[in-house]
Copies of this chain bind each other. A is one copy, B any other.
Amino acid sequence: MSTPACTCTDIHNHIVPENFPAYAGRNLNVPWPSMAEAHACHRHVMISGKVYRTVADGSWSVARRISDMDTAGVTRQALSPMPELLSYWLPLDDAKVMVRFLNDQIASMIDQAPGRFVGLGCVPLQDVEAAIREMEYVMGTLKFQGVEIASHVNGVSIGDPRFEPFFAAAVKMNAAIFVHALRPAGQDRIVGAFSEQAVAFPGDIGLAVASMITGGIAERVPGLKIAFSHGGGAFAMMMPRLVRGWNAVPKAKESLPKSPREYARKFYYDCLVFDPQAVKHLIYSFGASQLMIGSDYPFNMGDTDPVGSLKAAGLDDETFVAIMQKNAERFLGLPPQ
């Protein structure tokens, strides 16, 4: 099968700065990150005196990143921070400093290759008003396409009504929202040598998708452009059960005018599911118009060949081009290439 001509936009990949500024706040025992040398081309992200993760230089090096993108056939990346940097658990004054630093780092990387990168910034969502103000900076001053948020904020699902003003503001600013798993539900139930990223991210992001539906924000904020990491995780398997719950339980049905499936099929999802048949199940579940390329570059749970993985699903040309390019243009609010 020949591959149709199109560009490729990767909406799920992360940056880590080469260095963090020293902590300059006034609070005690803040888990402020720093960087330390590791082996060649790698650095350790240090948090509270421990190695949180060892990351490759593609995390911060634009030259390395573009070289790797060229190898993988990725035209453009929407850059977002490593989720553990989102800082929802920091005191607000410290979190504001960190997210501003990260947003400016992303802007600096975009400036070095504006044809290859767009921005998905970060906001201190532990304070909805402060988050809206940072989103204004990100969208207005830095001209990003949107922001990355986590599946929950310190244990409160993003579908909680307290976050509704944030999502309403995102619609007004035409900001795309990319939701990523973080500190997942069930991480205390993992047994053995597998990481929380490997075991518990799918269930966690599935709960975030569900919360945006069951809590009613998807109904009340209809213009929202929101995408979920890791193919929506467990949600493809959860959705028919939510529909059953909606049909079977009167108080659930009274709470939502439409079936959960209808809301879910307006959300976006990446295709980072490591199985061509699972990609096809996402298309069946959510629709070919709602899926996009996600690589998790440059982390070791990522897909180094996201284009090849999509090709392996054996899709028709129109579907392939939609997932490679057109859906991401629509999600990110970019002019068609």
Contact = CB atoms under 8 A, between A and B. Distances in A.
Interface of A: 152, 155-157, 159-161, 185-186, 188-195, 197-204, 206-208, 210-211, 214-216, 230-231, 233-234, 236-246, 248-249, 251-252, 254-256, 273-275, 277-278, 281, 284-285, 300-301
A167 to B, nearest CB: 13
B159 A198 contact: no
A240 B185 contact: no
A202 B155 contact: no
B199 A159 contact: no
Contacts of A251: 193
Contacts of A210: 190, 194, 199
A200 to B, nearest CB: 7
Given A155-B188, A202-B234, A277-B284, 15 more contacts: A155-B189, A190-B211, A193-B254, A194-B210, A194-B214, A194-B249, A194-B255, A198-B242, A199-B210, A202-B238, A203-B206, A233-B234, A234-B237, A234-B238, A236-B237
Given A203-B238, A234-B237, A189 B198 contact: no
Given A203-B234, A245-B198, A159 B191 contact: yes
A54 to B, nearest CB: 12
Given A191-B159, A192-B214, A237 B273 contact: yes
Given A207-B200, A281-B281, A274 B241 contact: yes
19 contacts: A155-B189, A157-B191, A189-B207, A189-B208, A192-B215, A192-B255, A192-B256, A193-B214, A193-B251, A194-B246, A198-B252, A202-B237, A203-B238, A231-B237, A234-B237, A236-B237, A248-B301, A249-B300, A277-B285
